[in-house]
Amino acid sequence: MKTGRTALASLMVITVVALSALAIVRLAGHPLALQLALK
């Protein structure tokens, strides 16, 4: 079950990173910030 646990951990990390990026983009509220996030 090591692979399942690793997959879950990486999924959580990806989710946290995505939410952080989304929060930064919303705070910046700039098309420029959005372009940088999408690159």
What pTM, to 2 d.p., does this model score?
0.54
Which pLDDT score, from 0 to 100, does residue 8 have?
93
3-state DSSP of the chain:
CHHHHHHHHHHHHHHHHHHHHHHHHHHHCCHHHHHHHHC
1-39: per-residue pLDDT in tens?
678 899 999 999 999 999 998 888 777 766 776 677 676
